[in-house]
Structure 1
Amino acid sequence: MGRKEKKDKDHKDDVCWLSVHGGVAALLLCIAVFALLVRVAVSIHPYSGAGDPPKYGDYEAQRHWMEITLNTPAKEWYRNSTINDLTYWGLDYPPLTAYQSYVHGLFLRFFHPDSVALFTSRGHESPIGKLLMRWTVLSSDVIVFFPAALYFIIVFYTGRRDNCKEDIAWHLAIILLNPCLILIDHGHFQFNCISLGFTIGAVAAIFSKHELVASVLFSLALNHKQMSAYFALAFFSHLLGKCLRRQKPFLEVLKLGLVVLGTFIITWWPYLYSVDAFMQVLSRLTPFERGIYEDYVANFWCTTSIIIKWKRLFTTQLLQLLSFNATILAALPSMVQQIRYPSNQGFLYALLNISFAFYLFSFQVHEKSILLPLLPASLLAVEEPHLFGWLTYYALLSMYPLLLRDHLILPYVSLLALFILFNYSPIRRQGRKERGFLSVWKVLLITLLLSCSLVLHLIYLMLKPPERYPFLFDAMIMLLCFSQFVLLAAYTNVKQWKFMSHSTSIEKEKKIL
């Protein structure tokens, strides 16, 4: 079958899926509208740094980037100057974020020029300005994240024999109603939906055998937020494993490499006129001077710092080396598995395991970085509903101190309740692994862990920590969440290696479509 015939067949498969599941279309639309309304409801609450001068918070950072990209030439966006003071929320994301800020800045300037005026707009918090800023995130979700999620659902369920209307609807709802993503993007205020949307699109493109499209989409994700590198080794190992099983592996790898290189060149073009300009941007993306961690994040370095004072005992350079080696070692089993036995299901586990490795061991991790392992976990939710529910619950808990500082306790509790309602909804079919009863010991352990987390919620909300240990409650939350993340990562790493006989369809492929 020729390349054109295969593409036509894939297109017909998608059309057939929509035709056969025509009754599902209205339900999926209702879910998307509901997910959008939930985002709108969260957006009326406070945001990071609201009314808190002089630097405010992430909301002001995003607004300031719109101001800078709109009022200065591209070559000045990452360079310190009298116009662009990098100490005041200097741009520290790749060029695609800068272009996105520019487009959103045009939108704000059209309706409310004062909100992005150079210098005078610092700390701008007018009602119309806040409304327009919230619209930029909502529109990003609708334009990027929602279509990507729908694309994945269509591809994931095309050709499956056990399709069920309830499962399809539930799966889309779980992806779109991720409480952590909604609270960070529409409460705290960020644009994670763009890079995560590109990543979902790339995964769906791989599932539909469009690896070149996947390479473009994932390159865009990397060029929007450098934290998308959490997924890079999974994409690399999976695509390499597939290429090695084809008739001309070198040519296949070369095609992918050229597509990635071309995407990066186009994105970085304004900064390729000199080595100095390129390095200036690169230096802004790697803030090693901030240390191996900030605040209290539930990863290895921060958790073990209670016993081992990493920052005191080791230089920043040595910590960079240690974290790099630890991350690679933790990611290596998943990479090897996908190179040897590439499969779609194994790829999703690799995305989860490798992003977990980065979250637990890499340099300069933030609380919000847990959104990255959560993404592949949501794509695996039908296969691993309990794992996804457990991870989401503790991911939320790990961000609880941050969200409480943003005065987002009401949407936090509301979205947690909504998530529990959807995740354990009776419309979802019970998988074979879920049938039967949990052992008494498992029930007791789960009850104990949930009780501890509920107590920590109340303690953090109602009590003041001792003056000698002002971050005691943060550390307790961090320890509990870290323990759960390690257990979940160990389980999913073992689970991934069970997919050693599911690559037969991939081995039959001859070349990239």
Structure 2
Amino acid sequence: MQGKLQLALISSFAVLLRCCITYHSHSGEDKPPMYGDYEAQRHWQEITLNLPPDKWYINTTDNDLQYWGLDYPPLTAYHSLLLGYIANRINPSFVRLHESRGLETEEHKYFMRLTVLIADILIYIPAFIYFVSNLRSWSNCQFNESNIFKFSKRDAILLTALIYPGLILIDHGHFQYNCVSLGFFVAAVAAIMQDSFILGSILFVLALNYKQMELYHALPFFFYILGNYTPNKAKSWVHCIRMLICVSLAVLLTFFIIWIPFFKNKDVFFSAVLRLFPFSRGVFEDKVANVWCVINVVYKLRQIFTNAQLAKICLLVTTCAALPSCINLYLLPTKNAFLVSLINSALAFFLFSFQVHEKSILLVAVPVLLHFHNDPLPCFWFLITSHFSMLPLFIKDDLYFAYLGTMVFYFCSVFWMWPDIFYNHKTNNLLNKSKLKLKKGGRVQQHKKNKSVLNLPGYDKKFWLLLAFYGSVLGILLLSILSKFVKPPERYPDLLPLLVSIYSCGHFLIFFAYFNYVQLFSTRKKGFTNKVKSH
């Protein structure tokens, strides 16, 4: 009973924090003629409600694709259609064809903000509760009380995930529905961890059909399932083939059901698919913390290569970057390796793939949240950096003080919930052994051995780790202040956003190397084994 009460309190607090952000400005507020993502979401409700499905992705007089044309998969369109029906019942002016463009009334803002909040409450928050609640059954994580407030480790993991500021500011400030696709993704991971491969595959297909960027996570799902059902001494060919067929049929059937309205003819189908992968936009648009944007500072990629050439280069480099993690996962499909592989795959796509948006870092941040309990400090460090990497977008949307406030709040909250975040297991073991020896000795011996404790290797590592961490955070703080309050030179108007991108990209490359090292050389030592059940 107490556990359920704590879950309710944590969830309520997470909802309250989201409600506070909803009172800030949104993307494109009072900025005609295109406004921003808020208007894009409203416009999709207008289009899906007033036009038949075979016209949603096709340019017509009633559907100008240059004005926020629908460019997400059908599940997003169906969600927009549902919200369009509700909006029409509340006030038809919200979604009246052609006449509702740029609508920003107070009544409509409350409606739109509430739709995101409800999606979060119904999908994303329950998905994380599902993941954390089943953590004990497959991991070595102990849910013992960890501080004087009787705050268990399970509560700390859940609260750390639910108050991550990056997703909250993008969905409830900037305005998007990432909580839907990421909620399905988290639920899919939780199901896979419970060895429910068919359910996990279906949930992941839902995530992928809500936002195509879930392709960032597709490779680990594929290789983990394939690795688990590769025949060996313990698994027969018949059982493995039967399970792979069942998973494949579940995936294909889910895709088929979602795409039924677009199988009317091949033109409708290909028009929809082409809208999902707009290669004509180029390798990147705004300043984003990935490799191509940084390289472009000194080597103008778009002036040297065509879009087609850049797309091929991105595909090749991304494949090479993700391949070591995927091969390792196939050969050693442990559950811990699966979580880390999700991080590595998403980071490879973010750093090296074609047409990456700054908001896509959320696709890396959520797997990091899932892995947080295994490696708190690097995960926390990454989450802080990921939030910072979106600073130019937050300034553009007039969300700077919301960004700063949530950053400080998250920083303090994590240090409160994880007071031993700087101590690794090796250091703790050394300290415990030293304490046992000190208890056996006298006062003189204690004094002598205290000196040896201070010279433990773990302490040297901790010092350099502290120095690196706080140096990194100091750089984040400095750039955060400069980006808001210092005017760049007229000759370089994008100097500060570019510095934010370069600084963040440098961190992400280091994290990419670190998490690949963790997966390739450390996860096999964790002792997490699979117990695949028969379905």
What's the TM-score, normalizing by structure 2? 0.89
Query: 1:330 deviation in Å?
Result: 0.6
Which of 404, 408, 415 is equivalent to 1:417?
A: 408
* Contact 1:66-1:116 at 8 Å conserved across structures: yes
SS class of match (1:345): helix
Partner of 1:455: 478
Question: Aligned to 1:158, what secondary structure does the other structure show?
Answer: helix
Aligned to 2:5: 26
How far the C-alpha of 1:258 sits from its partner, in A, is 1.0
Match of 2:487 in 1: 464
202, 206, 210: which one aligns with 1:224: 210
CA drift of 1:449 comes to 2.4
Q: Which residue identity does 1:79 align to in structure 2?
A: I
Q: Which whole-Å CA distance do the structure 2 matches of 1:158 and 1:209 have between them?
A: 11
Residue identity matched to 1:33: S
The alpha-carbon deviation at position 447 of structure 1 amounts to 3.2
* Matched AA of 1:478: S
The equivalent of 1:17 in structure 2 is: none
Distance in 1, Cα, partners of 2:526 & 2:164: 29
**In the alignment, what sits opposite 2:454?**
none
* Residue 237 (str. 1) matches residue 223 (str. 2): yes
TM-score (norm 1): 0.92
Stretch moving more, 43-52 or 245-254: 245-254
Q: What is the deviation of 1:501?
A: 6.1
2:496 aligned partner: 473
> Mean alpha-carbon deviation: is it higher for 451-460 or for 188-197?
451-460
Give the CA deviation at 1:444: 3.1
Q: 1:48 aligns with which of 20, 23, 27?
A: 27
Q: 2:259 aligns with which of 241, 264, 268?
A: 268
- Seen in structure 2, the aligned counterparts of structure 1 residues 91 and 235 have a Cα distance that, compared at 3 Å, is same
8 Å CA contact 1:108–1:133 kept in 2: the answer is no
Counterpart in the other structure of 1:375: 366
Post-superposition shift, 1:118? 1.0
The one of 205, 212, 229 aligned to 2:198: 212
Output one character per residue of 1:309-346: Cα deviation in whole Å (capped at 9) or x when no partner.
11111111111111001111110111011100101111
SS in 2 for 1:123: coil
Q: What residue in structure 1 maps to residue 511 of structure 2?
A: 488
Identity %: 39
**Quick check: 1:288–1:316 contact (8 Å CA) kept in 2?**
yes
Change (3 A) 1:260 1:468: same
Q: How many residues align?
A: 490
2:144 matches 1:164:
yes
Which structure 2 residues correspond to residues 90-101 of structure 1 after superposition, within 5 A? 90-101=69-80
Q: CA deviation at 1:117?
A: 1.0
Structure 1 residue 112 corresponds to structure 2 residue 91: yes
Determine if contact 1:170/1:428 at 8 Å carries over to the other structure: no
Alpha-carbon distance between aligned partners in 2 of 1:381 and 1:322, rounded to the nearest angstrom: 33
Question: CA offset at residue 421 of structure 1?
Answer: 2.0
- Higher mean C-alpha deviation, range 78-87 or range 51-60: 78-87
Q: Single out whichever of 302-311 and 246-255 deviates more from structure 2.
A: 246-255
| Structure 2 counterpart of 1:499, from 493, 517, 523 | 523
Kindly indicate whether the alpha-carbon contact (under 8 Å) linking 1:152 and 1:204 is maintained by their aligned counterparts in 2.
yes
Does residue 191 of structure 1 match 2:214? no
Correspondence for 1:134:
113
Q: Residues 430-480 of structure 1, C-alpha deviation per residue, up to 9 Å, x if partnerless?
A: 664375645443333333322222221111111111111111111111111
Residue identity matched to 2:52: P
Q: Could you give the per-residue CA deviations for residues 394-427 of structure 1, whole angstroms, max 9, x where no partner exists?
A: 1111100100110111211121122112211146
**Stretch moving more, 248-257 or 482-491:** 248-257
- One-letter amino acid matched to 1:205: A
Amino acid at match of 2:124: F
Q: How does 1:249-328 map to 2 (within 5 A)?
A: 249-328=240-319
Residues 504/57 of structure 1: CA separation in 2 closer, same or farther (3 Å cut): closer
Contact 1:115–1:129 (Cα < 8 Å) also in 2: yes
Identify unmatched segments of 5+ residues in structure 1. 1-21
2:335, 2:529 within 8 Å by CA — same for their partners in 1? no
Matches of 2:327 and 2:7 in 1, distance apart?
37
The SS at the match of 2:63 is: coil
Question: Partner of 1:19 in structure 2?
Answer: none
Aligned-partner Cα distance in 1 for 2:253–2:144: 40
Distance apart, 1:388 and its partner CA: 1.6
Residues 112, 128 of structure 1: 8 Å contact kept: no
The 2-side partners of 1:89 and 1:55 are apart by 8
1:68 pairs with 2:70: no
The offset of 1:228, in angstroms, is 0.4
Query: Equivalent of 1:200, from 179, 186, 189?
Result: 186
Per-residue deviation, residues 72-110 of structure 1 (Å, max 9, x unmatched): 111111111111111110000000000000111112112
How has the CA–CA distance of structure 1 residues 208 and 440 changed in structure 2, closer, same or farther, with 3 Å as cutoff?
Answer: closer
For residues 141 and 440 of structure 1, what CA distance do their matches in structure 2 show? Answer: 40
28 and 331 in structure 1: CA distance in 2 versus 1, 3 angstrom threshold: same
Are 1:385 and 1:423, in contact at CA under 8 Å, matched by a contact in 2?
no
For 1:94 and 1:202, locate their aligned partners in 2 and report how far apart those are by CA, in whole Å. Answer: 18
Question: Is the CA contact 2:195–2:533 (under 8 Å) kept in the aligned structure 1?
Answer: no
Taking structure 1 as reference, are residues 210 and 503 closer, same or farther at Cα in structure 2, changes over 3 Å only? farther
Distance 1:450 1:420 in 2: 10
Find the residue that maps to 1:261 and give its secondary structure: helix
Q: CA RMSD in A?
A: 1.7
Judged with a 3 Å threshold, the aligned counterparts in structure 2 of structure 1 residues 397 and 505 are, in CA distance, closer, same or farther, namely closer
C-alpha contact 1:28 1:169 (8 A) present in aligned 2: yes
Return the letter of the residue paired with 1:128.
Answer: E
Task: Tell whether the 8 Å contact from 1:342 to 1:503 is kept in structure 2 after alignment.
Answer: no
Note the C-alpha offset of 1:136. 0.6
Q: What is the distance in 2 between the residues matched to 1:484 and 1:338?
A: 24
1:374-453 to 2 correspondences below 5 Å: 374-426=365-417, 432-433=424-425, 435=428, 437=459, 438-453=461-476
User: How many Å separate the matches in 2 of 1:23 and 1:125?
Assistant: 43
- Whether contact under 8 Å (2:138, 2:193) holds in the other structure is no
**In 1, distance between residues paired with 2:130 and 2:372?**
16
